Amino acid sequence: MQKDITKWIGRQFGPYTFVVERGKIREFALAIGDDNPIYTDREQAVSAGFPDIPVPPTFATVIDMWGGPDFFQLVEQLQLNLLKVLHGEQEYEYLADIHPGDEITARTEVVDAQVKQGASGGMNLLTLETRYQNQRGETVLIGRSKIVERF
């Protein structure tokens, strides 16, 4: 069904806050099967140039899902059909490191909305940008998700 999704541009979610814990980083790396020792062994992290263990490249999903509106809440608030929604694209820009003890505050905004017609039907495309700041006010990470709703 065709609907006006451009009305969501500028819609904001958050801010929400998540405290990064050593155990959560380890749990996340193990779930992926990522055996890079820098995520579990502080000495290895220090050898790799960090002051403490860093987070894996996709860790922001933990901050989003545990700290903020989860996928269901986003879908509901954007009035999307859960059964027709796909995660189309994901991008991260890494500006500074994230370590255990950091308190990350995230703010999400709908920055783009497009309707596309393809051979197999139409798609609503929403781009959500999330900016992650640490407790010192530094923006450490920017995430961009493209959410696809088929119709």
Partner 1 sequence: MEPIKRWAAGDELPAIVKQPVTHTQLVRYAGASGDFNPIHTVVSVAQQAGLGDVIAHGMLIMGFAGQAICTWFPRKDLRRFKVRFAAMTRPGEQIVVSGKVVERITVGGEPRLLCNVAASNQDGETKLKGEFEVAWRERAE
Q: How far is CA 108 from CA 9, 73, 80, 111, in A?
A: 11, 13, 17, 9
Q: Is 89 in the site for partner 1 (CB under 8 A)?
A: yes
* 106-125 binders of partner 1 (CB under 8 A): none
Are the beta carbons of 109 and 12 closer than 8 angstroms?
yes
Of 1 and 72, nearer to partner 1 (C-beta) is 72
Are the beta carbons of 111 and 131 closer than 8 angstroms?
no
Q: Vertex 106, ends 90 and 65: CA angle to 5°?
A: 60
Of 14 and 88, nearer to partner 1 (C-beta) is 88
Q: Is 24 in the site for partner 1 (CB under 8 A)?
A: yes
Could you tell me which stretch among 87-95, 100-108, 111-119, 126-134 binds partner 1 (CB under 8 A)? 87-95
Q: Is 54 in the site for partner 1 (CB under 8 A)?
A: yes
* 55-84 binders of partner 1 (CB under 8 A): 56-58, 61-62, 64-66, 70-72, 83
Rounded-to-integer distance, Cα 27 and Cα 82, Å: 28
